[in-house]
Amino acid sequence: LVSMATDPKLQWVTLWARVRWAAVLGLLLALLVVLLLPAAEDQCHAVLQGLSFLKSKLGAGSSGVTRYTGHTTELSVASNGLELLVLKGKASPEVKLEAKAALKQALEMKRQGKREKAHKLFVYALKMDPDYVDALTEFGIFSEEEKDILRADYLYSKALTISPFNEKALINRDRTLPLVEEIDQRYFGIIDSKVKKVMAIPKGNSALRRVMEESYYHHIYHTVAIEGNTLTLSEIRHIIETRYAVPGKSLVEQNEVIGMHAALKYVNTTLVSRIGSVTTTDILEIHRRVLGYADPVEAGRFRTTHVFVGHHIPPHPRDVEKQMQEFVQWLNSEDAMSLHPVEFAALAHYKLVYIHPFTDGNGRTSRLLMNLILMQAGYPPITIRKEQRAEYYHVLEVANEGDVRPFIRFIAKCTETTLDMLLIATTEHSVGLPEADGSSAGCKQTIPVK
């Protein structure tokens, strides 16, 4: 034993064996970490979800704090049962200092009469720190001076969402709110007069029949294109008319088109005539057709998993059915049906997409429900064009932050555009519908009411 201990060769062999064993153990530990990493990631994700849910509950539970109520407007939506949670990165102290300096410069430029520079500096300050209450309020005052009452009111509203007790924002919003209500109601009046003109067109009018048929294909094209479908208008027409697949194109995308066609037929033949009696089953049946050809497993049933939609975290899966019951109760209530049809349709769209009750197809189902409400009121179905996708998502995001009125105005604008297309197409010199792949400039053209 003594000789083994003192033999240098044997000492090297023992040392080399230890090194090899250490390497093997290290490799085994590395493999173990790799195997356990997905589970750890899932656990971290679950913890983050739990923290978000806890944050929303704590925010909802602070009912003892008096918050801004102000005057109500017909274009505002109550947040009963709708806990709005928008996750945003907070500005760092350095960025806040930069925003403060930009606001100071903006006010100086405004004092000197350099309003264009002031406008750019206000925008820059809010880009640096979107929750800067003083910048929101001062930019609101600046917007009022520029006669942009809608933007001013939006800025005051956002300031009060962040700081409900801000005295300057409270006083200013009390001034702009009645003006905004008047502007919105006047716009509804313009839409109503155009609806009457469309309804006065004889049902047998060949131009009206032709443009309604064309708008059907356009509607399917745009509503699936908003969700990323790449099929062209001519390919969609081919699929619907022949029921044959387009070679070389995604079968999932083609099944989405067939699903929209089936859902539209169901809405037109079954639901339009049933005013004031939309049920949860009806919404599930719409969704079953929307998604049934592309994903029959998830079609027609509420989601059972968490989903994340941009900055918005929809309700927990266990709360979906209850919130849908409350939503349907609201849909059939006198309060909802006493709203202007455009406002009612827009709010229904927003509330359903907020709950996000399905794993997929929420946007298409919400747009179908919106058009169902409009058609029940005698309006033609409207189309949100794919070129308007960015604006559409932006106003939905603004609604998630607490002000749904820009979304209602967006839907009102789409309604007026549809009415204008019908009126123009049925005149003596009809021009037909805009090209499916054209720019959205045509969407902004309106015709005056005489």
Residue ranges at the known binding site for ATP: 309-312, 360-367, 392-393, 400
Cα within 13 Å of Cα(187), Cβ side:
23
Least Cα distance to 174 among 73, 38, 32 occurs for 73
Compute how many other C-beta atoms are within 10 angstroms of the C-beta atom of residue 54.
10
Say whether 356 is catalytic.
yes
State the greatest distance between any 2 C-alpha atoms of the chain, in Å, as a whole number: 116
Q: What is the sign, positive or negative, of the torsion defined by CA atoms of 392, 398, 402, 407?
A: negative
- The alpha carbon of 313 is separated from its chain's Cα centroid by a whole number of angstroms, namely 12
Helical packing angle, 93-111 and 133-145, nearest 10°: 20
C-alpha distances in Å from residue 97, one per residue of 54, 122, 140, 203: 31, 14, 21, 63
Binding site per annotation, positions: 309-312, 360-367, 392-393, 400
Residues 105 and 97: their CA atoms lie apart, in Å, by 12
101-128 as b/e, with b when 16 or more CB fall inside 10 Å? ebbebbbebbeeeeeeebbebbebbbeb
Least Cα distance to 197 among 373, 412, 375, 423 occurs for 423
Q: Kindly report the backbone phi and psi dihedral angles of residue 312, in degrees, each rounded to the nearest multiple of 5, phi listed first.
A: -90, 135
The CA angle 266-271-274, to the nearest 5 degrees, is 165
> Catalytic pick from 222, 356, 394, 429?
356
Residues labelled catalytic: 356
